[in-house]
Amino acid sequence: MQGLDLYTDGNTLLGVGDDAGVYLYGGEVFVHTVDFITPVVNDPYLWGGIAAVNSLSDVYAMGCTPLSALAVVGFNQCDLGLEVFREVMRGCADKLREAKVVLLGGHTVEDKEPKFGLAVTGVCPQGKYLTQQGARPGELLALTKPVGVGILTKALKEGKISDQDMGKSVEFMLRLNDGASQLAREFASACTDVTGFGLLGHAYNIARKSGVMLSIEFSRVPAYPLSVSLVKEGIYPKGAVDNYNYLKEELQSEGLEWWQLLLLSDPVTSGGLLFTFPQERAPLLQRRAQELGVEVWIVGQVEEGRGLRVY
């Protein structure tokens, strides 16, 4: 988008560059986003559900409530058949029902590589929303889902693991970030969700926009054990390398091995929320997370400086 003269008006509260755009209309503050993915599992029903959760995540990352969605579909019925597409839509519909989000329509194009996702509109309670800006030195950094999904997906596509091996990762990918969003609304200073840029890439977005350094302790980062085993064997997606190469000039890594950096750079599908919050509120945050049924890991802290540090 660099160099484009984009039109905005007085109601444009947040334009291109964050997890979603924010617009004021009729006294309400609305949030808008779109996302779609290629299959990350073999089961079309599960893929549809994961894609829906993934698309809703940007609204939750803003601390807002999704209201409606439009389906975005790339599909070739000659290769896959309409029954496969129906299962994808059924998986999506079940997740939208869980999230209380209305599907209003959508658009389908012929595509050799199947793609599915949603354009989502949400509303910001009391007109308030979170952004990637606002982290302050002395705060802690929290994460609500493990990393390593991209490594598992790569191994699945290459036949190195089975559908059953995906197990726990599928459960997390199907888990809505609604509870995590409520937690962030109550505690966070800055927030984003962890998806294609990996943990380091999305952490860097917070650090860059907040003008701080985020320091991440590798041993505290939750990861799927099978992902750790696979990346040590040299199995990882090209996206992990691309993410690392993009960030390496901004990254201070102390004593970490190559596989650890790749794990932290691994592109995530339907990941958790990553947010900063005041250190003194940590005990209260843990109690509130339990009440909401949200798993949360404290993975680092905010420091003076610029960029990222991992150790």
Domain count, the chain: 2
At residue 1, the pLDDT reads 62
DSSP state letter for 127: G
pTM of the model: 0.94
Same-domain check for residues 100 and 178: no
Q: DSSP string spanning 105-116? A: EEEEEE-SS-EE
pLDDT by residue (tens digit) across 129-160?
999 999 999 999 999 999 999 999 999 999 99
219-257 pLDDT per residue, tens = 999 999 999 999 999 999 999 999 999 999 999 998 899
Looking at the fold, whether 113 and 155 belong to one and the same domain comes out as no
- Do residues 171 and 38 both lie within one domain? no
Are 34 and 152 part of one and the same domain?
Answer: no
Q: Are residues 226 and 202 in the same domain?
A: yes
- Please tell me the chain's helix, strand, coil percentages from 3-state DSSP, rounded to the nearest 5: 40, 25, 30
Which pLDDT belongs to residue 19? 83
Q: Which residues of the chain have pLDDT under 70?
A: 1-2, 78
C-alpha 58: how far from chain center? 7
Last residue of a domain, one of 103, 127, 151: 127
Tokens of residue 277, six digits: 């919050």
Note whether 198 and 266 are within 8 A (CB). yes
The predicted structure's pLDDT at residue 18: 82
pLDDT of residue 15: 87
Query: In the predicted model, what is the mean pLDDT of the chain?
Result: 95
Q: Which range of residues forms the domain containing residue 163? A: 140-310
